[in-house]
């Protein structure tokens, strides 16, 4: 009887861990995608800097 409880608890914990790992991988993929967008926007935003070499007020500091 106890072994069934342990087996069930193990299976539930394993399923939860697999769910966490799946979500973690999704977040890593999303982070990489956002990083690419940020890099592209930086390149676009600073392609033609202002004549006085100041960064625009809206830039990230």
Sign of CA dihedral 30, 33, 37, 43: positive
- What phi and psi, each to the nearest 5 degrees, are found at residue 20? -65, -45
Q: Which residues contact 49 (CB under 8 A, 6 or more apart)?
A: 55
Share of the chain above pLDDT 70, in %: 75
Where helices occur in 1-61 by DSSP H, the ranges are 2-45
Mean pLDDT calculated for residue range 20-34: 98
What pLDDT is recorded for position 2? 77
Note the pLDDT tens digit of each residue in 2-20: 789 999 999 999 999 999 9
- Computed over every residue of the chain, the mean pLDDT equals 87
- 57 against 13, higher pLDDT: 13
Predicted TM-score (pTM) of this structure:
0.61
């Amino acid at each position: 009887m106890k072994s069934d409880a342990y087996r069930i608890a193990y299976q539930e914990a394993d399923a939860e861990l697999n769910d966490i790992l799946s979500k973690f991988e999704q977040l890593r993929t999303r982070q990489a995608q956002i990083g690419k967008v940020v890099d592209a926007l930086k390149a676009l935003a600073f392609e033609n800097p202002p004549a006085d070499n100041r960064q625009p007020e809206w830039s990230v500091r």
